[in-house]
A and B are shown apart, each in its own frame.
Chain A
Amino acid sequence: MNEPARHSARPPVAIQLVKVNKWYGEFHVLRNIDLTVTGGERIVVCGPSGSGKSTMIRCINRLEEHQTGKIIVDGMELTADLKKIDEVRRDVGMVFQHFNLFPHLTVLENCTLAPIWVRKMPKREAEEAALHYLKRVKIPEQANKYPGQLSGGQQQRVAIARALCMNPKIMLFDEPTSALDPEMVKEVLDTMVALAKDGMTMLVVTHEMGFAREVANRIVFMDEGQIVEANAPEEFFAHPQHARTKLFLSQILR
């Protein structure tokens, strides 16, 4: 009677990184990264620039290749096998610092492109789903505009909707608010908080410590390609252990 029970339960591990190493030429960007993310967990990754945090999350959907170690996403190990990479990318949504919306397509077309061509969804159904997610990020009225006609904050919310349209199990955010004008940061963070409250598994590279405090289960601090410290947010902010963590926090929390 044990077997069916184990099958019906959601696999608790969403992402697993085991001794992951990566080099750019001679430069050792990721050094022995070990990280396990369980389903529904929200993890904020922070650290100084050049610490490898973006590279790490970009390895998770194989925008970057790691050279040694194992990355297992949703039970699938990432190797050179293109089929597996495609499968992982379908299940992992990503939001970029510079939005990377497709400027030649309308907001709606941006959202329906992948469902139609990758998931082979009928156009009508894809559009309905897209409008649903555009409502969720609170800009359904912009559906027929082009990205260039929207503000930065609106573009980033479209990018979030576009990722959600693929119905991902995991969402990666790579500094989603760093390229935004200050008055637009909040609308994007609010969208992300709402997403977190719905139980999405999230891995967020950000310097928004307010956001980290509010939604993260865990904060991972990286420096020089290594994970230096990881902890629950209250502990992380109140009692940082490592000297570099303390230095970093003292610099960003004036």
Chain B
Amino acid sequence: MTMAEGDLAVTELHFVRHEQLPPKPPPAHMRGTLGWMRENLFSSWFNVALTVAIGLLVAWVAVELARFLIIDAAWSGTDRDACREAVQHRPIGACWPFAFERMPYFIYGSYPIPQRWRVDVFFVLLAIGIVWLMAPRAPRKNWGALYFFIVLPIASFILLHGWELIGLPAVDTVLWGGILVTIVVATVGIVVSLPLGILLALGRRSRMPTVKMFSVAFIEFVRGVPLITMLFMASVMLPLFVPEAFEPDKLVRALVGIALFASAYMAEVVRAGLQAVPRGQYEGAMAVGLRYPHMMGLVVLPQALRITIPNIVNTYIGLFKDTTLVYIVGIFDFLHTVEVARIDPKWATPVTSTTGYAVAAIFYLIFCYGMSRYARAMEARLASGRQR
């Protein structure tokens, strides 16, 4: 014990430690903001060059965006003169008065103005359902599910479509439009595609040949056809086969097309998750006596879906943006209302179209980024309890 034990290289044949080495803090260059920056932004010349280049790019884009959206933007006015450089004698960015004036049209489409409160109520009911189901700490999830999957669809239908008996005049879906249609189409697609996708995925892995064949054929057919084709088939070909009296509503046809389309993609996403669940989980479940529905519902699917959350959300985000394609079959979704509004002569200026598209971009960005953040939060929450 002549030397400090911590410094001693063990060179002797016989060595016995007599005191525990205390833990020390990491060296200074690993700590603090400066340490982090040195480690992550400026660790090598290549890294420095990348940091500078990306920094410049971000700065440039940010400045241009701020100039267009805020600094140079026109904020008030009643017609196109507010947004014309010739009239205002200054460079003009976004034409916000146009967006403000057409906002009700963007939200409700041609829904009759005295009836628009019904749409507002629908938005509130939907928001309640979403928060109830998705907030981790919300109480009585089973009631929430009942509300979301049974009460809400019926209430929404009565509310939006109308029911003369209780004094709600019918509003033909032709008049629906804007964010209302986008939300309805996306919600129906999202809500229908997951359970249907799960069934198709289970069917594809089934041992029963007929079930398996049907699932494979459906998935491969739908995935092999562009969504636009599906929508065209639903809106143009279906009426050829169905007598006019039974012909479903145009919006309903598009809803069915999108829901089936999303289900096929969802099926493949879920199947990937099912394949990632180890064989031992199935065996563990079978060995304790669980039957197929319980084994799948309680053991396999919870794990498979957890693995696939990023991919499910990816599909949802894609679906949300794909809803714009209903435009093709003459349904006035949000983007279509922007398209119509931007060519209104009342607001004909060089920046009207750009402003309209900026509004669309901001809307889609908020929704898609929101979904993405929620998914990240869920992943983190689910991962926290079971780190290995």
Q: Which residues of A contact B (CB under 8 A)?
A: 61, 63, 86, 89-90, 92-94, 96, 98, 100-104, 113-114, 117-118, 146-149, 162-163, 166
The reply to whether B287 and A63 contact each other, CB–CB distance below 8 Å, is yes
Neighbouring A residues of B388 by C-beta, 8 Å: 148
Give residues of chain B (289-328) contacting chain A, Cβ–Cβ below 8 Å. 289-291, 294, 298-299, 302-303, 306
Q: Which residues of B contact A (CB under 8 A)?
A: 280-281, 283-291, 294, 298-299, 302-303, 306, 385-388
Q: Select from chain B the residue with minimum beta-carbon distance to A97.
A: B280
A103 CA to B285 CA in the complex, in Å? Answer: 12
Q: Which of the residues B286, B288, B294, B387 comes within 8 Å of A162, measured between beta carbons?
A: B288
A117, B290: Cβ atoms closer than 8 Å: yes
For A166, list chain B residues within 8 Å (CB): 288-289
- Please tell me which one of the listed residues B280, B283, B288, B303 contacts residue A104 in the complex, with CB atoms under 8 A apart: B303
A116 vs B284: C-alpha distance when bound (angstroms): 16
Expressed in whole angstroms, the Cα–Cα distance for A146 and B387 within the complex equals: 9
Q: Roughly how many angstroms separate A92 CA and B386 CA in the complex, as a whole number?
A: 29
Instruction: For the complex formed, measure the closest distance between the CB of B385 and the CB atoms of chain A, giving whole angstroms.
Output: 5
B386 touching A102, Cβ below 8 Å: no
Could you show 25 A-B contacts with beta carbons less than 8 Å apart? A61-B286, A86-B289, A89-B286, A90-B289, A93-B287, A96-B283, A100-B280, A100-B284, A100-B287, A101-B284, A102-B284, A104-B302, A104-B306, A113-B290, A114-B288, A114-B289, A118-B289, A118-B294, A147-B386, A148-B387, A148-B388, A149-B387, A163-B287, A166-B288, A166-B289
Within 8 Å by CB of B298, from A90, A92, A117, A163, lies A117
CB-nearest residue of chain B to A103: B386
Residues of A within 8 A of B283 (CB): 63, 96, 100
Known: A103-B303, A118-B294. A148 touches B289 (CB 8 A): no
Contact A96 B386 (CB under 8 A): no
**Cα distance A104–B305 when bound, in Å?**
11
| CB closest chain-B residue, reference A172 | B287
Contact B280–A163 (Cβ < 8 Å)? no
User: With the chains together, A162 CA to B285 CA distance in Å?
Assistant: 11
A169 CB to nearest chain B CB (Å): 13
List residues of chain A with CB within 8 A of the CB of B290: 113-114, 117-118
How many angstroms from the CA of A149 to the CA of B288 in the assembled complex? 22
Residues of B within 8 A of A147 (CB): 386
Inter-chain CA distance A206–B291, complex, in Å, is 29
Q: Establish whether residues B288 and A118, one from each chain, have CB atoms under 8 Å apart when the complex forms.
A: yes
Instruction: Kindly identify which residue among B288, B291, B302, B385 contacts A163, using a CB–CB cutoff of 8 Å.
Output: B288
Q: Which residues of A contact B287 (CB under 8 A)?
A: 61, 63, 89, 92-94, 96, 100, 163
Known A-B contacts A96-B284, A103-B386, A104-B386; the reply to A89 vs B289 at CB < 8 A is yes
Which residues of chain B are within 8 angstroms of A104 by Cβ–Cβ distance? 302-303, 306, 386
Instruction: Kindly state the separation between the CA atoms of A61 and B290 in the bound complex, as whole angstroms.
Output: 12
Q: How far is the CB of A117 from chain B (nearest CB, A)?
A: 5
* One of A63, A98, A117, A148 near B386 (C-beta < 8 A): A148
Q: Which residues of the other chain, B, contact A86 by a CB distance below 8 angstroms?
A: 289, 291
A42–B286 alpha-carbon span in the complex (Å) = 23
Min CB distance A2 to B, Å, is 35
A117 B294 Cβ-Cβ under 8 A: yes
Q: Looking across the interface, which residue of chain B has its beta carbon closest to that of A114?
A: B288
In whole angstroms, what is the CA distance A103 to B284 when docked?
11
| A181 → B minimal CB distance (Å) | 15
Report Cα–Cα, A16/B295, bound state, in Å: 28
- Of B281, B283, B285, B290, chain A has the most CB atoms within 10 Å of the CB of B283
Contact of B385 among A90, A93, A101, A146 (CB under 8 A): A146
- Which residue of A103, A113, A148 contacts B288 across the interface (Cβ within 8 Å)? A113
Bound complex: CA of A101 vs CA of B388, how far in Å?
13
